[in-house]
Amino acid sequence: MTATIEAIYESGMLKLAQALPLADKARVLVTIHTDEPSQNSERAAWLKLSEETLTKTWDNPDDEVFNELLQK
């Protein structure tokens, strides 16, 4: 089973917003994504870099020759 569930970290424990359909003592893997700016700054930097690279590649003037061929 794969699920994304909202939780709040409080007093060293994750408190889930809803119950899960799991047996007691079931072992799970937890991936943490926070909304805190300090945690998201690295992600934001990578997204910005990726967007800049994609834009540079996408807006490549050398590709205009292909657009001209499509017009014919």
| pLDDT digit string, tens, across residues 57-66 | 887 778 788 8
Q: How many CB atoms lie within 10 A of CB 68?
A: 9
CA 26 to CA 30: how far, in whole Å?
12
Question: Do 14 and 8 meet the contact criterion of CB atoms below 8 Å apart?
Answer: yes
Tokens linked to 57: 């590649």
| pLDDT digit string, tens, across residues 14-70 | 999 999 999 999 999 998 877 766 556 777 888 889 998 888 888 777 878 887 888
Q: What pTM, to 2 d.p., does this model score?
A: 0.42
Domain boundaries, the chain: 35-72
